[in-house]
Amino acid sequence: MTVDIDFQFVDTNGITLHTAVAGPEDGPLAVLLHGFPEFWYGWKNQIEPLVNAGYRVVVPDQRGYNLSEKPKGVKNYTIDKLRDDITGIIEAFGKNKAVIAGHDWGGAVAWYLTATKPEYVDKLIAINIPHPGAMEKTMRRYPPQWLKSSYMLFFQIPKVPESLFATDGYKQMCEALKASSQPGTFSATDLERYTEAWSQTGSLEAMLNWYRAIWYADIPKDKISVKTKIIWGIGDQFLSTETAKTSLDFLTDGDLVFVGEATHWVNHEQPDIVNRHILDFLK
């Protein structure tokens, strides 16, 4: 990466988030939201192309992750709070709205923000994450999605997942990333960076609290009118392509593209294709 990244601690919604910032200060704002179990680094392949296109790119470690604040208690990780962290970031950078891109859990926040506070969103890019209503709808009519999502039930158990994941230098978490991605996607250097982030005090509990707070979420019913692009690695082990297709039912102006030779981690595996789709969409 040849662009300069400035790391800032940004106060938003009553907490402080560690944030990677790049690009011209007067450029339109693009906020990139990572998922589990990543941090800002998960967007490393997308920052430079967006900067070169003139965007002010802001990539927070979301609440509970890496160097960001980790408030105690499951209810501090409800989707409303996660959404308001991002609206606060948009305001902190002096903007009224931003392009919002989200992957995995970051995409869930992006969907919810767009559905409930669309005035903050210029355009939405969702990568391997369905509209929450599409997830519910698909699970009712497509039983295999229950199996794909079964790991979330394990995450509900207090303390046990944290203890398991931390053993042997976070070996299971590293192996899970490698097993669910194309061979060679995550280098030894990448895994060192992730392990360092997971090792921050309180990180594992906070990261898992995102899943434990899911029961407090209300699923938006109204269609989204914000222009939306869904990019989907077709080999996702966790989410079926049915959830991606069904997401279009919740959009008035949406487009879906499937990317081959890619999994849930498509933005790592096929960065050139993903970046081209993003930049074409934003033009």
Catalytic residues: 104, 211, 264
Kind and range of the H or E element at 42? Answer: none
Selection from 31, 41, 46 nearest residue 91 by Cα: 31
**What's the number of CA atoms in the CB half-sphere (13 Å) around residue 191?**
15
35: buried, middle or exposed (CB in 10 Å: 19+, 13-18, 0-12)? buried
Contact between 21 and 92 (Cβ < 8 Å):
no
Cite the DSSP H helix spans in the chain: 44-52, 79-92, 105-116, 132-141, 144-148, 151-155, 160-179, 188-198, 203-212, 241-247, 266-269, 271-282
- What backbone phi and psi angles, to 5 degrees, belong to 38? -95, -165
